[in-house]
Structure 1
Amino acid sequence: MAESILIIEDEEKIARVLQLELEFEGYQVGVAHTGTDGLIKYREGQWDIVLLDVMLPGLNGLEVLKRIRATEDHTAVIMLTAKDDVADKVRGLDLGANDYMTKPFEIDELFARIRTILRFSKKENIVEADEYLHMYSGLSLHEKTREIYRDGQLIELTPREFELLLFLLENTNQVMTREQILNSVWGFDYYGDTNVVDVYIRYVRQKIDQGQNKTLIQTIRGVGYVLREQ
């Protein structure tokens, strides 16, 4: 049975293009153009993923997301926004969005993120997947399977690199000092040089940023590091 995707997007041309592209890929697709209609359609069906625009007339995308999550529903939600606003992205992720894409975006990148979400949801029941799956800006890390993907591409990390990336994902958009990273990833009984953090950050960056235009791990000079979009 084909996976089902609900598009809630007020710009009809964009919604139509997304619908045609997704249907061509074999997905079952529903479309709504307002937040209210989107919630009605959402409640009437069973969806694997919701593509949810932030700037909707009336009931905006963040309010729609809040109402979806208020029912303890774990359906995957990818937010779509025309504003590259970090505050909006943080709020959406805090409300339970699985991922965020800023318009205009490449359709192939959207497909890659959809495939990544579906890949994990098929491996385990949705409650377990939601508990152990960490996602941010196309980067996906699963604690139990220890698999890491960025835009659908598998990334191989050493155990220490994995723990470092997991710690940063658990603290997305929060600046972590070298000491905090060292204590969490290497342990309180580590007495070596804190420069080991810088070395491993470089290793992880090289692997997760290969072939990408955006660097996700940012250096905060004199303080430490943060995982966030540029």
Structure 2
Amino acid sequence: MENKYKLILVEDDASLGYLLSEYLGMKGFGVTWTKNAQEALKKIETNVFDLAILDVMLPDMDGFELSQKVKAINPELPFLFLTARSLKIDVLKGFSLGAVDYLKKPIDEEELVVRINALLSRLVSNPDSEPQETNFKIGGYTLNTESFELRYNSEPIKLTGKEFDLLTLLAKNMNQLCTHKEILTTIWDKNDYFNKKSLNVFISHLRKHLSRDPRISIVNVNRRGFMLKVEVTV
């Protein structure tokens, strides 16, 4: 199978690192596996990768610190975290540092592949495709899809990865209907009852984040889907 994307995997557990690198290789990825942060940084300095997969618990440096050093070398390289930590504060910290996803151990290899493909299909640019809009003006808010930031005036607002992806999809279709099916298959990769329940929770979160501007609303359209509406003031 042809390698479509190049990944760097930073995982100090020899068994897990071998398992993931072999499985991802079988699924068509080009995988460079390193067991510590310093070795990973050297690889990133001299090679081109599409995605970095970082273990949080490393012997020489935690994954959070490593992610910032990675960003200093290559600000455009997206990264996700693998971790045995389950505390909400760690998950939020991971996203606040710019992670595109956060997977908890034990890792389901099939789920990892689905998530990587979904992430890279959105994040890696195709040179033959039309340039994508990266800044969206939503009333008094600005959403930047390159820096993964939502700002109200100049104040940053923290979003989780799912919140950011959902708001981006709604912003791309501003004042137009996004169906439940479109949202669930794009953001969750699966249109089912349980994800639909999760979607309603995330919509509530976004409504709170956008509540500072009364011109903005996320409307539930007759059980068909949602629409991000922004009233134009004259």
TM-score range, shorter chain: 0.5 to 0.7
Question: 2:125 aligned with 1:122, yes or no?
Answer: yes
Contact 1:6–1:51 at 8 Å: present in 2 too? yes
Whether the 8 Å CA contact 1:139–1:150 is kept in 2: the answer is no
Aligned counterpart for 1:150 among listed residues 187, 197, 204: 187
CA drift of 1:184 comes to: 6.0
How far off its partner does 1:14 sit?
0.5
Go from structure 1 to structure 2 and tell me whether the alpha carbon gap of 1:153 and 1:83 turns closer, same or farther (over 3 Å shift): same
Q: Provide structure 2 residue ranges, at least 5 long, that are not aligned to the other structure.
A: 135-144, 150-158, 174-181, 193-198, 227-234
The match for 1:228 is none
- Please name the residue that 2:20 is paired with: 18
1:136 aligns with 161
Match for residue 66 of structure 1? 68
Give the structure 2 partner of residue 219 of structure 1.
none
Contact 2:54/2:81, CA 8 A, preserved across alignment:
yes
SS at structure 1 position matched to 2:31? strand
Q: Match of 2:125, as an amino acid?
A: K
SS of alignment partner, residue 46 of structure 1: coil
Size of the aligned set, in residue pairs, is: 181
Quick one: distance in 1 between partners of 2:68 and 2:132? 18
Local SS of the residue matching 2:43 = helix
Q: Distance in 1 between matches of 2:33 and 2:107?
A: 19
The percent identity for this pair of structures is 22
**Secondary structure in 1 matching 2:7:** strand
CA distance in 1 between counterparts of 2:25 and 2:125 reads 20
Question: In structure 1, how many angstroms separate the alpha carbons of the residues matched to 2:110 and 2:213?
Answer: 37
| Offset at residue 2 of structure 1 (A) | 2.2
Query: Structure 2 CA distance, aligned partners of 1:100 and 1:184?
Result: 33
Separation (CA, whole Å) in 2 of partners of 1:28 and 1:20: 10
Q: 2:33 and 2:104 mapped to 1: Cα distance?
A: 19
Contact preservation (8 Å) 2:82, 2:105 = yes
2:33 maps to a residue whose letter is V
Q: How does 1:1-230 map to 2 (within 5 A)?
A: 2-71=4-73, 73-120=75-122, 121-122=124-125, 128=134, 130-131=146-147, 136=161, 140-141=165-166, 142-143=168-169, 145-146=172-173, 148=183, 149-153=186-190, 168=205, 176=208, 180=211, 183=214, 185-186=216-217, 200=220
SS of alignment partner, residue 29 of structure 1:
strand
Query: CA RMSD for the aligned pairs?
Result: 3.9
Instruction: Output the TM-score relative to the length of structure 2.
Output: 0.63
**Residue type of the partner of 1:152?**
D
Equivalent residues of 2:57, 2:83 under 8 A apart:
yes
Q: 1:6–1:166: structure 2 CA closer, same or farther, 3 Å change rule? A: farther
Paired with 2:191 and 2:160, the residues of 1 have a C-alpha distance of 14
2 CA distance for matches of 1:112 and 1:139?
19
Q: Contact between 2:53 and 2:79, CA under 8 Å: does it hold in 1?
A: yes
Aligned residue identity for 1:130: E
**How far, CA to CA, are the matches of 1:114 and 1:56 in structure 2?**
21
Q: C-alpha offsets along residues 154-185 of structure 1, whole Å, 9 cap, x if unaligned?
A: 79xxxxxx9x957845x9xxxx38x9389363
